[in-house]
Amino acid sequence: MNDFLILMKQELMITIIIFILLFLKLGNKEIKNGTLINFVNVLLLTNLASGFIFQKTGWLFGDMFYTNELITFEKNLLNLGTLIISLQSYNWLKDHKHVPEFYMLILSTLLGMQLMISSNNLLMFYLALELSTIPLAALANFDLEKRRSSEAAFKMIISSAFSSGLLLFGISMLYGTTGTLNLAELPVQLNGSPLQIFSFILLIAGFGFKISAVPFHLWTADVYEGSPVAVTSYLSVISKGAILFVLVSVLYKVFAPLSETWYNMLFLISVLTMIIGNLFALRQQNMKRFLAFSSIAQVGFILIGITGQSVEGSASVIYFVLVYIFSNLAAFGVINLVSAVTGKENVDDYKGFYKTNPGLSWVLAIGLFSLGGIPPTAGFFGKFFLLLAGAGKGNYLLIGIAALNMVISLYYYLKVIKAMFMDANENPIEKIHAGWSPRIAIVICIAGIIITGLASGAYQYIYSLVK
């Protein structure tokens, strides 16, 4: 019993929080939104803290559930990101009619992601994936009075259903050719037959949809633009991070016998993802669409790290997700505040932003500098470790293409910074008064960007967990 509680402590904590919110909702308790949000934030902080104590390696449910120190750390990253997003969303949520529903949905997806990371069976993985995806479509529609929010939800449902179909078809054929769904037993049964290769391609396509890799990215910009900013940031950081953790684990441990096959596939997908993500980001005017294509380009860099097929490759991906949480949420934190107060989301709206909001301008600038990989921010070291892992495979053409794409990406990140600091605007965005909750989130993000960038201990710690 004690082992069960320790091994599933993070999933149990989230489940308890969901039930507390459900009872509050069903009990028709008249609680002010601000009080409820602060209460949930305390619960999320407790959930995060519990992840760092009583760690243990073990199996549950007939070897279908597995956890160890590395997996616990990955879940802690998702918990941290969710807490930051909750803190950032205070100004938007305090006037919303359905705060308990928002948290129940977002925690349900988080629970699905945590079960997905611990899955040691493809069937359990698929069920956990669905649990993490379906509530996201409802969250995309959470700006209930906006038509584009409904469109975003509809597009998300369609794309998710299509990708789930591909994934399930691939899993079915894989089971047909190997006779097992257990991830530990699959590598022994893989012989590289055409049917297995085809089923593997379907699996990669399913993963590709979830991480917005080209050519499976078409849903991303529209869903990001139509969703509330809090949901967009959750999609771009937490959802994508969880899938990347699983992708690395599956490729390295399960499909290691097909490593040559998936290396060539990832090479092509990473090049296309970087180039197309960057080229489309250049022409975007809406901040959320801009960050959507930016996140697509970032996936291309992450895939380079995965092609390294080494301990360094795995560690660099996890480290980059950590850096990406701080960097992307710093940028989205400012956009969230501006959108909640003014409703403005275009790049041109940010002209002259520095004159009225110097502090928030610097936060957004630091976040964008980190996303662009400008030293000494954490984003620079994140991309450095990814490229270093990719270079370990000896494909310097891929590294060269990545370097060129980093230069291109600087242009569109600096375009936003130029608008804030240098461009004139007769009617700049008014002074934004952030409450203490968003301020705490901003401080965490900026501290994270600086500390994980300048302190090498973060990468070394992750490397020791992977090794």
Write out the chain's pLDDT in tens, 467 residues: 678 888 999 999 999 999 999 999 888 777 888 999 999 999 999 999 998 888 888 999 888 999 999 999 999 999 999 999 999 999 889 888 889 999 999 999 999 999 999 999 999 999 999 999 999 999 999 888 788 889 999 999 999 999 999 999 999 999 999 999 999 999 998 888 999 999 999 999 999 999 999 899 888 999 999 999 999 999 999 999 999 999 999 999 999 999 888 999 999 999 999 999 999 999 888 998 989 999 999 999 999 999 988 999 999 999 999 999 999 999 999 998 998 888 888 999 999 999 999 999 999 999 999 999 888 889 999 999 999 998 887 778 888 999 999 999 999 999 999 999 998 888 888 898 888 999 999 999 999 999 888 876 888 999 999 88
Phi-psi domain of 427 (left: phi exceeds 0; alpha: psi -120 through 50; beta: other):
beta
Rounded Cα distance, 358 and 297, in Å: 28
Q: What is the pLDDT of residue 135?
A: 93
d(CA 175, CA 192): 14
Q: Cβ(308)–Cβ(393) under 8 Å?
A: yes
Which tokens in the block code for residue 339?
């959108």
pLDDT (0 to 100) of residue 364:
95
Find, among 409, 223, 448, the residue nearest to 325 by Cα. Answer: 448
- Distance between CA atoms of residues 442 and 246, nearest Å: 28
Q: Which residue has the tokens 């993985």?
A: 125
Count CB-CB contacts under 10 A for residue 359. Answer: 13
Helix axes 396-421, 378-391, angle to 10 degrees: 170
Token output for 385? 């470790």
Distances (CA, A) of 284 to 45, 279, 347: 36, 10, 8
Going by the DSSP 8-state scheme, the letter that residue 357 receives in this structure is: -
Structure tokens belonging to residue 379: 């984003």
Q: How far apart, in whole angstroms, are the C-alpha atoms of residue 82 and residue 237?
A: 9
Where do we find the tokens 């710690």? 461
The residue assigned the tokens 């092509």 is 268
Cα 67 to Cα 115, 293, 460: the distances in Å are 10, 33, 21
Give Cα 78 distance to the centre of its chain.
8
Q: What whole-number distance in Å separates Cα of residue 245 and Cα of residue 10?
A: 17
Question: Quick one: which of 120, 136, 353, 95 has its CA closest to 238?
Answer: 136
| Residue 211 CA: distances (Å) to CA of 22, 259, 432 | 31, 20, 33
Biggest CA pair distance of the chain: 68
- pLDDT confidence of residue 401: 92
Contact predicate 98/138, CB 8 Å: no
Residue type, 12: L
HEC sequence for 387-404: HHHHHCCCCHHHHHHHHH
User: SS3 for 286?
Assistant: strand
Helix ranges, 343-435 (H): 353-356, 358-372, 378-391, 396-421
| Rounded Cα–Cα distance for residues 73 and 280 (Å) | 34
d(CA 115, CA 128): 6
This prediction has a pTM of 0.94
Q: What are phi and psi of 414, to 5 degrees?
A: -70, -25
